[in-house]
Copies of this chain bind each other. A is one copy, B any other.
Amino acid sequence: MKAFQDCYPDDYSHCYGCGRLNEHGLKIKSYWEGEESVCRVMPREYYSGGKKDILYGGLIASLMDCHGAGTAAAAKAREMGINIKPGSMPRFVTASLKVDYLAPTPLDTELELKGRVKEIKGRKVTVGITLAADGRLCASGEVIMVEIKE
């Protein structure tokens, strides 16, 4: 099964968070699991927050942004009846991002992001996202994504 990000066109695959062509980046991968999109990430040990054992908040925001963009694109593709394959994915940019930090996120464990599409309205897709570590909810967020028209 291809990840959402593996279906982005090449010229849109350079993102530090999710671009498969960014050799320094995180290359996160998102998939449908039923009605939810899921992304699992093991953070690098130097992505600490102020304290060494806690994840820095910027990474949480970055993961929500990239997972949200992927979820929006995949949801739009599904709505349009596009069969997702490499190069076929619609392209989205972030209009807004909101993150609520609910609990300190540990650095030494796999993170699980889950996305749920709240609304598709023309070119605008709103996605709600949660981030959990060891099954514990650590952050929730919402992104508004807008499809790029060439």
Binding site for B on A (CB under 8 A): 8, 11-17, 19, 22-25, 46-52, 56-59, 61-63, 65-66, 91, 93-101, 104
The number of times this chain is found in the oligomer is: 2
Residues of B near A91 (CB, < 8 A) are: 50
Whether A56 lies near B50 (C-beta < 8 A) is no
Q: Point out which of A11, A17, A23 has the most chain B C-beta atoms below 10 A from its C-beta.
A: A17
Given A14-B51, A61-B97, 11 further pairs, Cβ under 8 A: A14-B52, A16-B56, A17-B58, A19-B50, A56-B65, A57-B65, A57-B94, A61-B61, A61-B99, A62-B62, A96-B99
A76: min CB distance to chain B, Å: 15
